[in-house]
Amino acid sequence: MFNSMNNIEKKTFRQIRYDAKKIQILESAARIFARKGFEKATVEEIANELYMTKGSLYYYIKSKEDMLFQCHMMALEMTNEVMGEVLKSDLPPDLKLRNAIMGQTEVLTKEFVVGTLRQQELLLPKRMLKKVVAERDKFEKTFFKILEEGVKKGLFEKNDMKIKGYAILGATNWVPRWYSLSGKLSPRQIGEIIAEFAVKGLLKSSVSKLSKE
């Protein structure tokens, strides 16, 4: 029993180390992709930056395409986690939407996410791209549930909700394309600006008037 417990603890510790190293590799890959572009970057460069051999790198990652795929999936899983937590909260829909946008912006401005999302996911093989799209669809469905909740509770205008929703997603999803770590605004400030703009655009005029009084 005691030996068995030790094995579980050792396995857990090894898994933690493995996962930490894998994240380090993906973050390094994303930086190089951002600097050189996915097509020009090489596995050798990524291995050299981490002081690893190419062979040891392949213990964690199967290929360059696999690196890009896993970077995309890690970013999407983080945004889905944020969106899921917001949806489960007891906050009113307008505050849920605000927190969702701010949380998403926090994720989208992380250095490895910026480096990843500036690359064309269409470069991925179809089987990988299919999984990326499925994870993205999951995010969109959760996002629109927040908007639907706002409509049902009489906070948001019902008209053209789909167009407005995709306009908000377009604004947030474009952040990694122009965001700079050396910029004047913090991720939180950027999120607040987008959230304020988005929420005001969805609120019913009667609700908007009440908020000003």
**Does 87 fall in a domain?**
yes
Supply the pTM of this predicted model: 0.80
Helix and strand totals (H; E) in the chain: 11, 0
Specify whether the CB–CB gap between 88 and 58 falls below 8 A. Answer: no
**Does 153 fall in a domain?**
yes
Backbone angles phi, psi at 184, to 5 degrees: -70, -35
Pick from 174, 46, 36: nearest CA to 117: 174
pLDDT for position 162: 92
**Does 47 fall in a domain?**
no
Specify whether the CB–CB gap between 22 and 52 falls below 8 A. Answer: no
**Does 184 fall in a domain?**
yes
pLDDT for position 17: 86
Instruction: Assign residue 150 the CATH number of its domain.
Output: 1.10.357.10
Neighbours of 38 (CB within 10 A): 23
Question: Residue 156's beta-bridge partner residues?
Answer: 203
| pLDDT one digit per residue (tens) for the chain, 213 residues | 434 444 444 568 888 888 899 989 998 988 888 888 888 889 999 999 999 999 899 999 999 899 889 988 988 999 999 999 999 999 999 999 999 999 999 999 988 888 787 777 777 889 999 999 999 999 999 999 999 999 999 999 989 999 999 999 999 999 988 998 888 999 999 999 999 999 999 997 645 444 444
**Does 155 fall in a domain?**
yes
Pick from 169, 51, 26: nearest CA to 105: 169
Range of the domain at 175: 64-212
Pick from 70, 88, 200: nearest CA to 145: 88
**Does 98 fall in a domain?**
yes
**Does 77 fall in a domain?**
yes
**Does 34 fall in a domain?**
no
Q: Is 184 helix (H, G, I), strand (E, B) or coil?
A: coil
pLDDT for position 204: 77
Question: What's the domain count of the chain?
Answer: 1
